[in-house]
Amino acid sequence: MNSADSAPSKRRDKEDRPSKPYVKKPLNAFMLYMKEQRAKVVAECTLKESAAINQILGRKVGICVNLVALLCQISTLAVAWCHE
């Protein structure tokens, strides 16, 4: 007997299980931002390549993340200063 014959195949496992409705995963924050901002970036520049547009959007997200981190640090320092 082959070892392949003794082990159940993945296909048979899937067929035996009752089918569940497919639940689509929600978009993460970057994908939501891309969906919202892609048209604006395409309108601003003459690029049509998806990779180049994604790089621009990625840089913009990085700037936003750094800005939010800086604002959090400033507010933490302000709260600490007020409680002194």
Give phi and psi for 74, each to the nearest 5.
-65, -45
- Counted domains in the chain: 1
Q: The domain containing residue 50 runs over which residues?
A: 24-82
Give the CATH number for residue 63. 1.10.30.10
In angstroms, rounded to a whole number, what is the distance separating the alpha carbons of residues 2 and 15?
A: 22
Q: Using alpha carbons, list the distances in angstroms from residue 15 to 5, 23, 54, 73, 74.
A: 17, 19, 39, 53, 56
- 10 belongs to a structural domain: no
- 18 belongs to a structural domain: no
CA end-to-end distance (rounded Å), the chain: 78
- 69 belongs to a structural domain: yes
pLDDT single digits (tens) 34-67? 888 888 888 888 877 888 888 888 888 888 888 8
- 15 belongs to a structural domain: no
- 44 belongs to a structural domain: yes
pLDDT single digits (tens) 13-39? 566 667 888 888 998 888 888 888 888
- 5 belongs to a structural domain: no
